[in-house]
Amino acid sequence: MLRRTKIIATMGPATDDPKALDALIQAGVDVVRLNFSHGSHEEHRERAETVRNRARAHGRQVGVLCDLQGPKIRIERFKEGKVVLEEGARFVLDASLGSDDGTAERVGIAYKQLPEDVKRGDTLLLDDGHVVLWVEDSLGAEIVCRVVVGGELSNNKGINRQGGGLSAKALTDKDRADIKVAADMRCDYLALSFPRCADDVNEARELLRQAGGHGGIIAKIERAEAMNNLEEIIEASDAVMIARGDLGVEIGDAELPAVQKRIIHIARGLDRVVITATQMMQSMVESPIPTRAEVFDVANAVIDGTDAVMLSAETATGKYPDKVVAAMDRICKGAERQRNAMVTERRQQMHFNRIDEAIAKAAMYTANHLGVKAIAALTESGATPLWMSRISSGIPIYALTRHVETRRKVTLYRGVYPVSFDVTSTDHAEVNREAIDELVRRGAVRDGDLVIITKGDLAGVLGGTNAMKILRVGEHELHQDEL
């Protein structure tokens, strides 16, 4: 059984060993994430090149996602490396304090404008909410707080304001420099951290294009205020990532499950890709097997329709990077066998703006009602298989394309599988035969199976898909009328 939901694995020290990387690819990873919050540009370049080379050696296509750090809203460092804050104690966040001078009474902050963004009565959450501070006053460079929930606090932990509202811009000077590197690496996707509105997404796309990059833009939904502009952010993006860490801290954990479902639903309705991320298999950083709660978390995201599930520390620094991918693979396949993960979406009052979109949706409707075994979408940009993948189905969609960039792009689309295929003939019947022969060679179909082929009259034209053909394997050399 082919897995339709895609798996993203974060690269790191645990995957740098060639044997570990080979095992990760063999376990079924579809896209690797390079986290620009850590590591040097040279490390990221080397990892991307190594992944592509090893994937090619395994006969696989693996996409590369570059994840920008975004604004660094964090505390600085402590003299002793960490402190323990007692409930009820006074604690000061001090923008004027040296970066290594933190004590149990005060600590520096990397985001120097923070005192201007908070006021008495605000709640600040440090280290993903493990430490909670109530703001008594904000005076000059100092934010005077009272510890509501105490505990251990170590260097460089994140700061969130409950309810959101921090003014930090999504793109920093570091991000702008990193975008140029990502473009030079030919990244397939660029993830934007902490966008507040569509303008942030548009700016990131413009900077990537100016640098010569052609990757898709992923908006990470992790700010409370992003929820107020959700649809415009999704529409401006190629994909969205539900970054449940910071988002959960800002809106509250109790709100997160419903918000996750809402984002998945909206993204699919707007024909955008959606990724579910953060602590999906966190226990497997140390354990070779997941908890039951993690199994349910991954499975529920799959049943809700997520395109991809993402691993962070589990593969970057964990003890069992290949085992966690293999476990996620099993869970996804199990969830995909459930009927409500395969039902067809019937959209009322649907209106098509493009011919290729109409062909894509018509092909899926036909496939789901005719017993088709596979779909071969001959594509230049990957748009047709993307639209197809928005309709729930258990039918595999093969994106046949000569462009390596398109093959890497579709590694993120649910139920879509990249195939290297170059149209060398102007004879449509010959192209059909070659496409079906490729699916037969892959074991996707056999004699007697029905196959749908979508393509354009003119090869090599972007957005040119205007035809759908239904063929039966074994009879595909006979003339068939175009629908």
Q: Indicate the angle between helix axes 41-57 and 173-184, nearest 10 degrees.
A: 30
CB half-sphere exposure, 33, CA atoms < 13 A: 29
User: How far apart are alpha carbons 414 and 31 in whole angstroms?
Assistant: 12
Q: How many C-beta atoms surround the C-beta of residue 289 within 10 A?
A: 13
Q: Is 82 a catalytic residue?
A: no
6-10 vs 308-311, strand pairing mode: parallel
Q: Quote the tokens at residue 13.
A: 């020290």
User: How far apart are alpha carbons 338 and 327 in whole angstroms?
Assistant: 18
Encode 126-139: b = buried (16+ Cβ within 10 Å), e = exposed.
bbebebbbebeebe
Q: Is 472 a catalytic residue?
A: no
Q: Which of 3, 33, 272, 323 is catalytic?
A: 33
Q: Quote the tokens at residue 190.
A: 């660029």
Q: Which of 4, 52, 220, 361 is catalytic?
A: 220
User: How far apart are alpha carbons 214 and 225 in whole angstroms?
Assistant: 28
SS3 of residue 17 by DSSP: coil
Q: Which of 3, 47, 74, 469 is catalytic?
A: 74
Q: Is 346 a catalytic residue?
A: no
Q: How many C-beta atoms surround the C-beta of residue 288 within 10 A?
A: 12
- DSSP annotation string for 245-296: HHHHHHH-GGGHHHHHHHHHHHHHHTT-EEEEESSTTGGGGT-SS--HHHHH
Q: Which of 5, 276, 278, 465 is catalytic?
A: 278
User: Residue 128: which region, alpha, beta or left (left: phi > 0; alpha: psi -120 to 50)?
Assistant: left
CB half-sphere exposure, 376, CA atoms < 13 A: 30
Residues in Cβ contact with 475 at an 8 Å cutoff, skipping those fewer than 6 apart: none
SS3 of residue 441 by DSSP: helix
The single residue listed with the structure tokens 């759908």 is: 468
Q: Is 33 a catalytic residue?
A: yes
Q: Which residues are known catalytic residues?
A: 33, 74, 220, 278
